[in-house]
Structure 1
Amino acid sequence: MSETFNVTEVFGQNVFNDAVMAEHLPKKVYQQLRKTIETGEELDPMTADVVANAMMDWAIEKGATHYSHWFQPLTNITAEKQDAFISAPKANGKVMMEFSGKELIKGEPDASSFPSGGLRATFEARGYTAWDCTSPAFIREGAIGKTLCIPTAFCSYTGEALDKKTPLLRSMQAIDKQALRILRLFGNTTSKRVTPSVGPEQEYFLVDKEKFLKRKDLIFTGRTLFGAMPPKGQELETHYFGIIRERVGAYMKDLDKELWKLGVTAKTQHNEVAPAQHELAPIYGQANLAVDHNQLTMETMKKVASRHGLKCILHEKPFAGVNGSGKHNNWSITTDDGINLLEPGKTPHENIQFLFVLTAIMKAVDLHADLLRESAACVGNDLRLGADEAPPAIISIFLGEQLEDVLSQLISTGEATSSIQKGKLDTGVRSLPDLAKDATDRNRTSPFAFTGNKFEFRMVGSSDSVASPNIVLNTIVADVFKEAADILEKATDFEEAVHDLIKKYASEHQRIVFSGNGYSKEWEAEAERRGLPNLRSMVDAIPALKTEKAVALFEKHKVFTKAELESRVEIQYEAYVKAINIEARAMIDIAAKQIIPAVIRFSTELANSINSIRTACDAADISVQVELLTEVSALLSDMKVALSKLQDVTAIAAEMEGDSQKQATYYRDEVTKAMAELRNPADQLEMLVDKAFWPFPSYGDLIFEV
């Protein structure tokens, strides 16, 4: 019988959230901690000790034996070091359970063992984790038991950020500071904080675990390096929003429960377009908490899948020929008293504050399209972006008919006097209710689309951290807000000055607005005519981080130093090189040790069959067998030639150390090309060789038999 549970009782039961803090902390300590969370005021050591003891007592009551500083190094996954609560044994052999404020606030992992891009040498090991009290501690359950996890930032001994969280928090401070200046100019005297809100939708694949473990390419790289398309793919469009299979449904139910216990607001679940592909979407939350929750979601997805005999695949393109997976980053800006700065209202043309914020974002995205593109750059995304299933590599903004009309009025006449209003949806069926229709349709081909009261950045890869795009979004918008505030604060006539800025931003940056088909070749040509960058690959995108413009931007708002940006450039190139090198070596291993021997066995069996038939009946027609053997032998020869070429170029690439950009470019241009040349005959052979001889499960086995 299916397990039932009360969601309201389960939700947040493993989180040291506000309600738990209020219950377990003395009133004064609770108020001091809330002040720290809300204003950033430093927590004094005595208060920290009280919080640590209360947190430990609560965790032990829940069955926890260890604590860990949980952080997000520059690997796109999380890291932790677990320590037991026990102290040194007393004279009588007994141990005490202890957890101090110092242990809560600061940890010390080895900084040289994580990617640092040159910020840390191997012999310079010291690094620190610092408690992020704005993201609640939580208890994670697993085979190791229960562990109190404390979300932390991670920096080097010399103060540079070695993680995703530190610059994210810095960018949140930047946009808070500048947005408050804007709000005060518009007469808002009540809002105290402005926070970016984020809701990252997460796409993923589920496949059978036993079949997954029979494919070395999936094990080593997270994607299939070989594989012919089955007779059926996604062309019938029956999987999207289809009935969820029982096995997958059981997984989703278990996943929801685990996430709810961790305070993750898992809201929506459904089948995605490709067979075996699914999606989970949360409710929006504060940016740094949303990033933490998305990391927890990915970790929990993998853990729960194993319980159900499944494997969760988060790679952007695990299967060629069907849609890959992304992560839509829904972003808006909200005040502590509930005002969404991207809420247009019923008459957007009259909402001057909204029009200012909108056109400021247009300017930010237009000026820094290269940075926004780079923020979504990862190796797997190169296989997905622009493939008629995801946004193109060209950054543009979709505003919709209503807002485009308002902007057109502003640009052409200097003022907007009307807004296209919502209508009624006429279904033609009297028994159906009248539905209020949005004033604007949606555009799924747009990388950065306005969707009612937020922007949806659709370019992020499914395995990637959403910290990077939100760091960029927060910073570039903060920069335009600062520029505007500097002008408006000096203006003698605010209304006239803000009106002029709105028109200026709309006019000068209208090239970034595009409402058509982002998949079309015509758009590529049009984007080039407009002067919009088209950074097709991760290697093309990485240099955006080290331009003079980028360094000035991030240093101005104290989000990154020049050294931190340069380190991330090196880390990105290294990540690309290492990933493609692993894929190439995996292909070489699989081709040489599995596919070629399997094809030889099949060819030998076929040749023996031909000889046996010829011996038994000299007049028998064996033309089909001979033709098949000839075709297989030719493809086998092509495969061997391609294998040798891949071995050669991979060896050359591995020796090109010293210039990371040059090495990454060679891997992109030569090694990936050789990988494709090896895959082509192998995939053709899969269609010819008896399935009994093929060394691993096919696409059909993986994506249709879950």
Structure 2
Amino acid sequence: MNTMLDVFGINYFSELELKNRVPSSIFKKFKAVQLGEAQMSLEVADVIANAVKTWATEKGATHFTHWFQPLTELTAEKHESFISVTSEGTIMSQFSGKDLIKGEADTSSFPNGGLRSTFEARGYTAWDTNSPMFIKGEGVTKSLYIPTAFVGYNGEALDKKVPLLRSIKTIEKEALRIQRLLGDTDTKHVCVTLGVEQEYFLVEKEFWDKRQDLALAGRTLFGNLPPKGQEMNDHYYGTIKERIEIFMSELDAELWKLGVMAKTKHNEVAPNQFEIALMFTSANVAVDQNHLAMDTIKKIANRHGLAALLHEKPFQGVNGSGKHCNWSLSTDTGLNLYNPDTLSNDNFQFLLYTMAVIEGIDRYADVLRACTATPGNDHRLGGHEAPPAIISIFLGEQLQELFENIGKANFQNSTGISETIDIGIPIPKIPKDVSDRNRTSPFAFTGNKFEFRMPGSSASASTPAFMINTIIADILREYADILEKSDPAININKAIIKLIKERYNKHKRIIFNGNGYEKAWVINAQELGLSNLKNTIEGIPVYIREETIALFERNNVLSRNELYSRFKVYSDRYNKQTNIEISTAVKMARNEIYPCIITYITHIAQMINSVREALQEEEYIQFDKEHLIKVIGFKNRLKNTITSLNEGLKKAVLIPDEYERACFYHTELIPILDEMRVIVDSLEILVDKTIWPIPTYYDLLFRL
């Protein structure tokens, strides 16, 4: 029987594998390319390509693909065979350095927000040397996957990876400046680390097949919770059902083969909701691995007769699903820059980097909020299972007190890290962290990292990662400029204390350690001047604010045109998603719900007539008549909403501007869609379950 150690990494091309298959001189040149110290030559690429091809074909791969991340939040791939035909007509296996380094893809059908015209279709995929290649597939259909960046003909970023790589380069540059000022001459590189927690639902595939809304929109547009939902908290961290355990075991094994360290798994709060967390690694690799995890969850679920739902809010009335991004910075000397254990009487590194987060998140809260503004997340944020749409930071009382007292006589940068919790029973004492956890906070310090809980489950982790990188890099640059100009006669720690004290007083309003779910916090935040961008319509214009453009341009992450393109792409995504949801709801209401109601009305009417004829007494049918009248009333209202939505869809397509069309959907049509849901859900309660045409929430959430 294969153990985890036997299967881990068997399908990914590690650096150790490369080192064992190429001359040491080639490997050294490869590492120099990885670190940005050299350009990849064709000679080096040819040697690496031959080694990779040999490894891949030994494992049964017949094709290779440049795997990239367009602006769809998904991944894309075009497979090419290793086999080539010679001029003599013979077959040979071929894979050159040129094939490895660069691919060409037709960009015309990928969203680009006006960066490319339809007739300007050329786009390039460029090998990302910092993310390992891997093999996917079954039987004789295996392919070598090469992680790549995706750019237009003139170098425009058409994907999620390019801005992430740019932001990593920028924040490393500014963090190294800070390290030098702190006297650190050993660190040569600073790495952004990311750990991603992925939530998802599982439902019976047979029920998913019978729900057009789940199949087409990813969420239920209609449905009532049964008498029991998640109130008893019995699913959260509960015993994993045998069928799910088998699914999870296969999921772990498949991810381990790809070198993805799936670390934890458990039941989440809502029925049939689960979570998988991946081990911390570099942000670039973590994003790629999260995409692999999402793809693998869906693939393995299908094998087990299940359907995986990655939508942020597939069910109304129970918790939605998020993607928690745990972010930090680490040096190549093994130091976590956000580990408070580094605090000492002569080391203010942790406080300076933490202050950069406090100031950055306060100044650019709207930018961070914009990256989570998606149609799916609109249904999740602000509910009693997700952070509110207001950005705030949780530090915990101990850290907040430290910042409050900095520079004062009673300031102590000894944070009590060595404390333990004495429970009073004979078990080992528990080391006490520097802060508690706050699951209601969108951006919380959690021991040695910051957890951004606001991103939605279906989104790429790349966008929040490069947003955070850019924001913090911008503040670190300012800090480095200030500290480099400080009087050399003044101790660097005194200069840091002065800087932190000044900046903390300006930006401490962003710190909130309380319950973010309480309505009082919304009022309090407004009084503090914090933004509350409630939905996508309010969020995505942030991309094209002048201060946003200036932020990303001075950090060399996105240009003005690239930001405008994303604004257009995300406006268009909102329109398409909303159009799909409305069109699907109309079709289900007209072709499934409405005929069911007509049948039910006919049945009840016939029953009333039969009883009246048999008993000749109206009092015996009074209740049934009232019930029938109520059903007919909802039926007529349903017909009106169908008509209104159809007319609204016709008007929407006539609005040329993408954002104006999105506003029309939001203000005019979504309220009608919500009304239709209320009507259909009311009818579900009134109508005989045996003739209800679609699986209910009970079927979806409790029959597994």
TM-score (ref. length: structure 1): 0.97
Indicate if the aligned counterparts of 1:546 and 1:569 stay in contact, CA closer than 8 A: yes
> Residues of 1 paired with 2:662 and 2:333: CA distance?
47
Report matched runs for 1:655-670 at 5 Å: 655-657=654-656, 659-670=657-668
SS in 1 for 2:517: coil
Report matched runs for 1:522-541 at 5 Å: 522-541=520-539
Indicate if the aligned counterparts of 2:200 and 2:321 stay in contact, CA closer than 8 A: yes
Indicate if the aligned counterparts of 1:344 and 1:351 stay in contact, CA closer than 8 A: no
Indicate if the aligned counterparts of 1:401 and 1:439 stay in contact, CA closer than 8 A: no
1:375 positional shift: 1.2
For 1:642, the equivalent position in structure 2 comes to 641
- Whichever residue aligns with residue 39 of structure 1, its letter is G
For 1:515, the equivalent position in structure 2 comes to 513
- From the superposition, tell whether residues 693 and 370 of structure 1 become closer, same or farther in structure 2 (CA, over 3 Å): same
> Residues of 2 paired with 1:567 and 1:212: CA distance?
35
Check if 1:34 corresponds to 2:28.
no
Report matched runs for 1:423-502 at 5 Å: 423-428=419-424, 430-491=425-486, 492=488, 493=490, 494-502=492-500
Indicate if the aligned counterparts of 1:138 and 1:148 stay in contact, CA closer than 8 A: yes
SS in 2 for 1:404: helix
Higher mean displacement: 647-656 or 97-106: 647-656
For 2:670, the equivalent position in structure 1 comes to 672
SS in 2 for 1:102: helix
Indicate if the aligned counterparts of 1:129 and 1:153 stay in contact, CA closer than 8 A: yes
1:438 positional shift: 2.8
- Whichever residue aligns with residue 469 of structure 1, its letter is P
- From the superposition, tell whether residues 63 and 363 of structure 1 become closer, same or farther in structure 2 (CA, over 3 Å): same
- From the superposition, tell whether residues 334 and 424 of structure 1 become closer, same or farther in structure 2 (CA, over 3 Å): closer
Check if 1:76 corresponds to 2:42.
no
Higher mean displacement: 36-45 or 555-564: 36-45
2:52 aligned to 51, 55, 60, which one?
55
Indicate if the aligned counterparts of 1:349 and 1:355 stay in contact, CA closer than 8 A: no
> Residues of 1 paired with 2:345 and 2:614: CA distance?
88
For 2:172, the equivalent position in structure 1 comes to 176
1:88 positional shift: 1.6
For 2:258, the equivalent position in structure 1 comes to 262
For 1:46, the equivalent position in structure 2 comes to 43
- From the superposition, tell whether residues 495 and 411 of structure 1 become closer, same or farther in structure 2 (CA, over 3 Å): closer
> Residues of 1 paired with 2:146 and 2:415: CA distance?
48
- From the superposition, tell whether residues 663 and 368 of structure 1 become closer, same or farther in structure 2 (CA, over 3 Å): same
SS in 1 for 2:91: coil
Higher mean displacement: 26-35 or 327-336: 26-35
TM-score (ref. length: structure 2): 0.97
- Whichever residue aligns with residue 571 of structure 1, its letter is V
1:112 positional shift: 1.7
CA deviation map 1:14-44 (0-9, x unaligned): 0111111012112221221122113352111
> Residues of 2 paired with 1:397 and 1:10: CA distance?
40
> Residues of 2 paired with 1:640 and 1:244: CA distance?
43
Check if 1:653 corresponds to 2:644.
no
Report matched runs for 1:240-259 at 5 Å: 240-259=236-255
Report matched runs for 1:512-661 at 5 Å: 512-619=510-617, 621-657=620-656, 659-661=657-659
> Residues of 2 paired with 1:440 and 1:57: CA distance?
50
Indicate if the aligned counterparts of 2:343 and 2:349 stay in contact, CA closer than 8 A: no
For 1:234, the equivalent position in structure 2 comes to 230
- Whichever residue aligns with residue 605 of structure 2, its letter is A
For 1:688, the equivalent position in structure 2 comes to 686
CA deviation map 1:490-547 (0-9, x unaligned): 2222333222111112111101101011111111111111111100001111111111
RMSD (CA atoms): 1.6
1:64 aligned to 46, 61, 64, which one?
61
1:411 positional shift: 6.7
SS in 2 for 1:109: strand
SS in 2 for 1:53: helix
Matched pairs, number:
700
For 2:202, the equivalent position in structure 1 comes to 206
Indicate if the aligned counterparts of 2:415 and 2:434 stay in contact, CA closer than 8 A: no
> Residues of 2 paired with 1:417 and 1:48: CA distance?
50
Higher mean displacement: 225-234 or 432-441: 432-441
- Whichever residue aligns with residue 596 of structure 1, its letter is Y
1:369 positional shift: 0.3
Higher mean displacement: 645-654 or 507-516: 645-654
1:688 positional shift: 1.1
- Whichever residue aligns with residue 480 of structure 1, its letter is I
1:678 positional shift: 0.7
Indicate if the aligned counterparts of 2:406 and 2:497 stay in contact, CA closer than 8 A: no
SS in 2 for 1:87: strand
- Which sections of structure 1, spanning at least 5 residues, go unmatched? none
- Whichever residue aligns with residue 185 of structure 1, its letter is L
Indicate if the aligned counterparts of 1:135 and 1:289 stay in contact, CA closer than 8 A: yes
Report matched runs for 1:101-500 at 5 Å: 101-142=97-138, 145-345=141-341, 351-410=347-406, 415-416=411-412, 418-420=414-416, 423-428=419-424, 430-491=425-486, 492=488, 493=490, 494-500=492-498
SS in 1 for 2:687: coil
| Percent pairwise identity | 49
> Residues of 2 paired with 1:582 and 1:9: CA distance?
45
- From the superposition, tell whether residues 44 and 418 of structure 1 become closer, same or farther in structure 2 (CA, over 3 Å): closer
CA deviation map 1:153-206 (0-9, x unaligned): 000001100000011000000001010010011011111110110001000000
1:650 positional shift: 2.4
CA deviation map 1:420-446 (0-9, x unaligned): 566443444x34333233343211100
SS in 1 for 2:564: helix
1:402 positional shift: 1.0
- From the superposition, tell whether residues 611 and 412 of structure 1 become closer, same or farther in structure 2 (CA, over 3 Å): farther
> Residues of 2 paired with 1:70 and 1:463: CA distance?
18
> Residues of 1 paired with 2:288 and 2:59: CA distance?
22
1:627 positional shift: 2.3
> Residues of 2 paired with 1:400 and 1:25: CA distance?
50
- Whichever residue aligns with residue 312 of structure 2, its letter is E
SS in 2 for 1:410: coil
> Residues of 2 paired with 1:348 and 1:680: CA distance?
59
1:22 aligned to 13, 19, 44, which one?
19
> Residues of 2 paired with 1:512 and 1:25: CA distance?
52
> Residues of 1 paired with 2:155 and 2:431: CA distance?
54
Indicate if the aligned counterparts of 1:488 and 1:498 stay in contact, CA closer than 8 A: yes
> Residues of 2 paired with 1:663 and 1:223: CA distance?
22
CA deviation map 1:387-422 (0-9, x unaligned): 011000000000001101101112766944653566
> Residues of 2 paired with 1:697 and 1:143: CA distance?
35
- Whichever residue aligns with residue 82 of structure 1, its letter is H
Higher mean displacement: 337-346 or 320-329: 337-346
> Residues of 1 paired with 2:588 and 2:701: CA distance?
21
> Residues of 2 paired with 1:349 and 1:233: CA distance?
52
- Whichever residue aligns with residue 100 of structure 1, its letter is S
CA deviation map 1:223-254 (0-9, x unaligned): 00011111110001100000001111111000
- Whichever residue aligns with residue 109 of structure 1, its letter is A
Higher mean displacement: 437-446 or 390-399: 437-446
> Residues of 1 paired with 2:681 and 2:259: CA distance?
45
- Which sections of structure 2, spanning at least 5 residues, go unmatched? none
1:125 positional shift: 0.6
> Residues of 2 paired with 1:87 and 1:346: CA distance?
57
Indicate if the aligned counterparts of 2:342 and 2:350 stay in contact, CA closer than 8 A: no
> Residues of 1 paired with 2:259 and 2:315: CA distance?
32
CA deviation map 1:197-227 (0-9, x unaligned): 0001000000000110000000110000011
